[in-house]
Amino acid sequence: MTETRPRRVVRALAVPVLLLGLAGAGAWILPEHLRAAAPAAEKAALLPSRAVVEDGRTVVRLGPEERRRIGVETVTLRAASHREERQAYGTVLDLARVTELTNAYASARAQLQTAQARLEVSKSAHLRARALGVYATAVQVETTEGTFRTDEAALAAAESQLRTLAATAQQEWGPVIGRAIIERSPLVTRLIERERFLVQVTLPPGERIGKPAPIAYAEVPPQSERVRLDYVSPATRTDQRIQGLSFFYTVAGNAGFLPGMSTLAFVPSGTTVQGTAVPEDAVVHWQGGAWFYRAVGPDSYARHPVATGGPMADDTFVVAGLPEETEIVQRGAQALLSEEMKSQIRVSGDDD
């Protein structure tokens, strides 16, 4: 908000105001279209001011009735220790490879079972042929033995294929998801059926969080609403764009994500920070900064800065340096900012 517009408003009304001064008590005869043309900003400047400057800061004063009328609600917060969240970057993964490995492993296991059954039959036939002794021809013995040896080799190949697929699943997806692929556990079933999506969460380069938290959060674009992420395991690879430590989490399939989407993620770390947890809903943005309003006296509220790059916990800004108990404006901060701006408009107009 700049000062130039209200000054232009005052200058534009200078002539009508002079005429009103000359007319004195007869000011009511000013043409109706001139009186109706007064800008909204000028009308607002004529309202009584609720903002005053005290100790070098602007304080907005609102009584209980005024707070109810414009929707201002407050809450008293206590300073405490909070588990700090680290901002990370999430990518919803395409699980075509998981589906492929799961199906391939199931097929290989079926082939193994078939090979085992064939080997049992051919082995029994070979043993019977040998038991017949002189009653069995050499051709019968050789034929049954050849079938038996062939089925033995087929069984070994099926076992090798199964071991290879199991190793591939664990190398590509780690022991947790790899084992889930092998066992076709509920985790993999939900991923294949798109009840859950797999999200790779990557920290900024050089950052560490100790033991990963069982629950993290992601923001759903474009509303920036938070949804829950459930920890699965460390990731087997990093995001090439970020080059940081990565972890696998799952998110509900109906949370608003699709494979290939990117999102901001918030991962609780092992670090605790001391301060007052100010919710994001209480924060207003103005002139490139972030602010919230706190009580500084009876029915009096002043803006307090928030460092948006500072620590966060549970979707709140952790603000240090506040009293042990602080009453903040939880709803209606934008209305208080408007009241504060009205006082600046009025001061600007007076200067002209």
Mean pLDDT of 213-241: 89
- Higher per-residue pLDDT: 350 or 159: 159
pLDDT of residue 313: 84
| pLDDT of amino acid 265 | 93
Sign of the torsion formed by the C-alpha atoms of 326, 337, 69 and 281:
negative
Mean pLDDT of the chain: 82
CA distance 82 to 92: 29
* More confident site: 221 or 292: 292
Quote the pTM value: 0.68
Answer yes or no: is pLDDT of 48 > 60.
no
Is residue 274's pLDDT more than 60? yes
In a 10 Å sphere around its CB, with 0-12 CB exposed, 13-18 middle and 19+ buried, how is residue 51 labelled?
buried
Higher pLDDT, 214 or 45: 214
The model's confidence at residue 346, banded by pLDDT at 50, 70 and 90, is low
**Best-predicted range by mean pLDDT (91-105, 139-153, 273-287):** 91-105
Higher-confidence residue: 137 or 230?
A: 230
- pLDDT computed for residue 9 by the predictor: 31
Mean pLDDT computed over 298-308 = 90
For the cut 60, the answer to whether the pLDDT of residue 171 exceeds it is yes
Residue 329 has what pLDDT?
95
Least confident of 119-123, 223-227, 264-268: 223-227
Residue type, 53: V
Reported as a single tens digit per residue, the pLDDT across 101-115 is 999 999 999 999 999
Q: Which of 192-196, 255-259, 346-350 has the highest mean pLDDT?
A: 192-196
What distance in Å separates the CA atoms of residue 176 and residue 187, rounded to the nearest whole number? 10
More confident residue, 53 or 42: 53
Would you state the pLDDT for residue 22?
Answer: 33
Mean pLDDT computed over 196-217: 92
Axis-axis angle for helices 4-12, 14-23 (nearest 10) = 40
Q: What is the pLDDT of residue 5?
A: 34
Residue 123's pLDDT band (cuts 50, 70, 90): confident
What pLDDT, on a 0 to 100 scale, did the predictor assign at position 301?
Answer: 94
Q: Give pLDDT, residue 112.
A: 94
Whether 90 contacts 199, CB under 8 Å: yes
What is the Cα–Cα distance from 77 to 336, expressed in whole angstroms?
19
Higher pLDDT, 226 or 160: 160
